[in-house]
């Protein structure tokens, strides 16, 4: 959903049956009627339990179909195309309400990932560590691009990358293992090591840490 239009976040839909504001919800995976998708990632649904359509729907469906269910009124974003969605209980869709602020934050993260990915090819020429670190530290970024960024650390040869990486919690163990191997090689290439007591970078031949003053 990241690359799609987010203008629906500004839309306000009103239920014609109760005049209450409708909620923006994640669309179910399949259209109940024909098995096809809705053509949208979100739907605007009236979740008002006092809506006449919902209240009267129980008796209507019981009489017509002989089972317990009711209707929720729905509209598609960007249009007034509507439909009635059959629900089995009053909690249906209430757990699928879209959080606009969370979506906006996800979209900001995605845009940063795209920009960093595009900048990877020129980061060596520009001696720019920024795009590399953005991808490595972004748990939502594409795994292939993260691994590509990790390998660029050796070519950039900048020890400033170590501290933020050490302070980051990696969710993917393969990414963590690969980045640790690259850092070890990076330190070796620069005749350096990490102090086992304070984790600051010191000369590989040092017998005493210049930061915490501990004998090694």
| pLDDT tens-digit readout, 136-156 | 999 989 999 999 999 999 999
Do residue 156 and residue 81 come from a single domain? no
Do residue 20 and residue 50 come from a single domain? yes
Do residue 133 and residue 192 come from a single domain? yes
Do residue 77 and residue 118 come from a single domain? no
User: Rounded CA gap, 11 and 21, in Å?
Assistant: 11
* Residue that the structure tokens 């979506």 belong to: 103
By CB neighbour count within 10 A (0-12 exposed, 13-18 middle, 19+ buried), where does 52 fall? exposed
By CB neighbour count within 10 A (0-12 exposed, 13-18 middle, 19+ buried), where does 73 fall? buried
Do residue 59 and residue 126 come from a single domain? no
Domain range for 19 is 7-87
Calculate mean pLDDT across residues 193-205. 83
Residue 214 domain-assigned? no
Residue 211 domain-assigned? no
Residue 209 domain-assigned? no
Do residue 76 and residue 123 come from a single domain? no
Higher-confidence position of 32 and 140: 140
Do residue 112 and residue 196 come from a single domain? yes
Digit-coded pLDDT (tens) for 46-73: 999 999 999 999 999 999 999 899 999 9
Helix or strand or coil: residue 181? Answer: helix
Contacting residues for 109 by C-beta, under 8 A, at least 6 apart:
138, 140
Least confident of 6-20, 93-107, 128-142, 174-188: 93-107
Confidence band, pLDDT 50/70/90 cuts, at residue 197: confident
Q: How many domains does the chain have?
A: 2
Residue 18 domain-assigned? yes
Residue 59 domain-assigned? yes
Residue 42 domain-assigned? yes
User: Rounded CA gap, 132 and 157, in Å?
Assistant: 12
Do residue 146 and residue 193 come from a single domain? yes
Do residue 136 and residue 178 come from a single domain? yes
Residue 192 domain-assigned? yes
* Averaged confidence pLDDT in the chain: 88
Among 41, 58, 87, residue at a domain's last position: 87
For residue 142, what are its two tokens? 């594409």
Do residue 15 and residue 78 come from a single domain? yes
- The predicted model scores a pTM of 0.56
User: Which element (helix H / strand E) includes 154?
Assistant: helix 143-156
Helix or strand or coil: residue 23? Answer: strand
Do residue 114 and residue 82 come from a single domain? no
Do residue 134 and residue 66 come from a single domain? no
């Amino acid at each position: 959903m990241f690359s799609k239009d987010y203008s629906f976040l500004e839309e306000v839909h009103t239920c014609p049956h109760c005049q209450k504001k409708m909620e923006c919800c994640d669309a179910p995976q399949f259209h109940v009627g024909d098995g096809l998708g809705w053509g949208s990632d979100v739907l605007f649904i009236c979740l008002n339990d006092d809506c006449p359509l919902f209240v009267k729907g129980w008796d209507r469906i019981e009489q017509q179909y002989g089972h317990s269910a009711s209707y929720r009124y729905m509209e598609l974003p960007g249009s007034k195309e509507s439909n009635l969605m059959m629900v089995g209980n009053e909690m249906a869709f209430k757990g699928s309400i879209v959080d606009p602020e969370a979506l906006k934050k996800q979209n900001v993260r995605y845009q940063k990932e795209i920009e960093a990915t595009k900048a990877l090819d020129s980061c060596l020429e520009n001696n720019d560590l920024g795009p590399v670190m953005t991808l490595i530290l972004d748990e939502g970024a594409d795994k292939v691009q993260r691994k590509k960024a990790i390998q660029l650390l050796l070519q950039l040869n900048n020890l400033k990358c170590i501290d933020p990486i050490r302070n980051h919690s990696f969710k993917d163990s393969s990414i963590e293992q690969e980045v640790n191997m690259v850092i070890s090689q990076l330190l070796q290439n620069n005749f350096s090591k990490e102090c086992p007591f304070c984790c600051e970078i010191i000369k590989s031949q040092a017998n005493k840490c210049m930061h915490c003053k501990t004998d090694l």
